[in-house]
Amino acid sequence: MAPNGLSLLNPNANGSYVFETRPQFANHGNWISSDYLLKALDTDPAVTQKRLGDGFYEQRLVRDQLIELTGRAPTGGQNDDSRYKDLMTSGISFAQQYDLRPGIALSADQISHLTSDIVWMETQTVSLPDGTVENVQVPKVYLAHAGGDAVKASGALVTGDGVAINTRDSIVNRGGLIDGANGRTVLVAGQDIVNQGGAIKGGAVGLSAGRDVINQSLTIKQEYINSHVEVNSAAVKGINKGNVAKFKFPASEGVND
């Protein structure tokens, strides 16, 4: 990983982060960083594992992840600093609820219990420009748009400006709604993706399964301008009972067997 034009390698090899923002661009004291999360969880930032970058660098990483996950720049009138703080605040609450420790990635089960978007600090191995390799903590964005009414008699409700679910197990949607609105809906399962009497929608829909994508009644569709669906799996099976499964592939897209 190489620094961008705004950042350079921290000249202090024993510093708390690998990359720092060039001093001419901003005042270091004004950037909220992962220190906020670590201190709230009674972890001393001075003795914790080195982080990839300073606060400004972390905020850019978070912004880039949000764009990648939702397909567009963050909205809502917040600046990067306040957005990062809010996401970490949600991460702190989730960590306290489930007794999580910074540096350890969330499990599929923990992700399934998210009811708000969060930032969590996870350990990653990075290669530096000089060829050395370091284990550092990096902010990771998790999107979860399920509220208190997430579980209904008719099924789950997961909606928002972009939805991403990634698990090593199967994803099963029984009579519910998974809708990324004008953003991306990305479902990645190590085993199957099963849609039973529900709907999976979004501005762009990506389904990737280690085994099968199975659609049993109702729809997997996209109904927004310039939208498309991509399906990657060992097999796609449509079993429609009284309803039509709507797969709309542009000419350049297809199903990979």
Coil, helix or strand at residue 163: strand
Indicate if 100 and 215 belong to the same structural domain: no
Q: Are residues 164 and 232 in the same domain?
A: yes
22-60: per-residue pLDDT in tens?
776 666 557 899 999 999 999 887 778 899 999 999 999
Of residues 59 and 230, the one with the higher pLDDT is: 59
Looking at residue 111, its amino acid is: I
pLDDT greater at residue 15 or residue 2: 15
Q: Which residues contact 253 (CB under 8 A, 6 or more apart)?
A: 228, 229, 230
| Eight-state DSSP code of residue 84 | H
Report if residue 170 sits inside a domain: yes
- pLDDT, one tens digit per residue, over 136-193 is 999 999 887 543 333 333 444 576 677 888 888 888 877 677 887 778 888 888 888 8
**85 and 61: one domain?**
yes
Percent residues over pLDDT 90 in the chain? 24
Domain presence at residue 42:
yes
Write 103-109 long-range contacts (CB < 8 A, 24+). Answer: 103/48, 103/49, 103/137, 105/140, 106/142, 108/166, 108/167, 108/168, 108/169
Query: Running DSSP on this structure, what letter comes out for residue 72?
Result: S
The answer on pLDDT for 89 being more than 60 is yes
Do residue 96 and residue 20 come from a single domain? yes
Q: Are residues 115 and 54 in the same domain?
A: yes
Mean pLDDT across the stretch 97-103?
A: 94
Last residue of a domain, one of 108, 142, 176: 142
- One domain, residues 136 and 168: no
Helical spans, DSSP H, in the chain: 35-40, 55-70, 80-98, 108-112
- Domain end call among 112, 142, 172: 142
244, pLDDT greater than 70: no
Specify whether 138 is located in the same domain as 158.
Answer: no
Q: Which domain holds residue 77?
A: 7-142
Over residues 203-229, the pLDDT tens digits come to: 888 888 888 888 865 444 444 444 445
pLDDT at position 233: 52
**Which among 67, 101, 82, 78 has a CA at the least distance from the CA of 32?**
82
CB 69 within 8 A of CB 164: yes
Report which of residues 5 and 91 the model is more confident about: 91
Residue 27 lies in a domain: yes
pTM: 0.58
Neighbours of 29 (CB within 10 A): 6
Share of the chain above pLDDT 70, in %: 72
pLDDT at site 1? 54
pLDDT of residue 132: 85
In a domain, 1, yes or no: no
Q: Over the Cα atoms of the chain, what is R_g?
A: 20
Is residue 84 over pLDDT 70? yes
Q: What are phi and psi of 138, to 5 degrees?
A: -130, 140
Does 13 share its domain with 138?
Answer: yes
* pLDDT of residue 92 exceeding 90: yes
Same domain as 24, residue 45: yes
Q: Given the structure tokens 């990771």, which residue do they identify?
A: 140
Is the pLDDT assigned to residue 230 strictly greater than 70? Answer: no
- The whole-number pLDDT of residue 159 equals 66
Q: Which residue has the higher pLDDT, 84 or 253?
A: 84
Residue 250 maps to a domain: yes
Q: Are residues 19 and 138 in the same domain?
A: yes
Does residue 244 or residue 193 have the better pLDDT? 193
Are residues 123 and 182 both part of a single domain? no
Looking at the fold, whether 15 and 133 belong to one and the same domain comes out as yes
SS3 57: helix
What's the total number of domains in the chain? 2
Q: Which of 16, 10, 95 is nearest to 49 (CA)?
A: 16
In a domain, 2, yes or no: no
Mean pLDDT of the chain: 75
Residue 120 lies in a domain: yes
Placement of tokens 């960083």 in the chain: 33
Report residue 61's pLDDT band, with 50, 70 and 90 as the boundaries.
very high
pLDDT band of residue 252 (cuts 50, 70, 90) is: very low
